[in-house]
Amino acid sequence: MGSDPNSVEEYIKNVDPRWKDLLGRIRDRIRENLLEGFEEAISYKMIGYVVPHSIYPKGYHANPKEPLPFINLAAQKDNISLYHMGLYADPKTLEWFVHAYEKEVGRRPDMGKSCIRFRGEKDVPFRTLGELTKRISVKDYISLYERTRKH
């Protein structure tokens, strides 16, 4: 996605048609399970689920004008990428996720530090994504962020 979307709807409108349905289904799963306090917004040119400034006025340390990112979702050229900052910051959540993913999908996830890559529907663990989305509350995420961020 090479543009600068002004809204989530605009982002979705411009997604490559081959990813649109799957992106929508992943987005629906996240939204169904998102805990109170997180908000959907455009974050770093992607669909983002953030801690708004009204809850965490400091914003993201790398750019305090941006709200604190939690989950980002992007349609890339060859995959849909889901970035979950809780996986990056919390080894226990990462360990749980890898095990739950393997159990649901039958193999290890294709991932980087916080990035999970889905190359097709067979790669998406919808049940596990729902559980992952609601695993960390806003309060717990802020605490985790403040404990683990590099000063």
Sequence-ordered strand ranges (E) for 59-136: 68-75, 80-84, 115-118
| Gyration radius (Cα) of the chain, Å | 15
Average pLDDT of the segment spanning 54-63: 95
Distance separating alpha carbons of residues 137 and 37, to the nearest angstrom? 8
CATH number at residue 86: 3.90.1150.200
Q: Contact 117/110 with Cβ under 8 angstroms?
A: yes
Per the domain annotation, does 1 fall within a domain?
A: no
Q: Contact 77/70 with Cβ under 8 angstroms?
A: no
Per the domain annotation, does 2 fall within a domain?
A: no
Per the domain annotation, does 126 fall within a domain?
A: yes
Per the domain annotation, does 102 fall within a domain?
A: yes
Q: What is the pLDDT of residues 3-33, one digit of tens each?
A: 689 999 999 999 999 999 999 999 999 999 9
Domain membership of residue 62 as a residue range: 8-148
Q: What is the pLDDT of residues 91-138, one digit of tens each?
A: 999 999 999 999 999 999 999 888 999 999 999 999 999 999 999 999
Instruction: Determine the 3-state secondary structure of 125 from DSSP.
Output: coil
Distance separating alpha carbons of residues 2 and 130, to the nearest angstrom? 28
Six-digit token string for 36: 């109170």
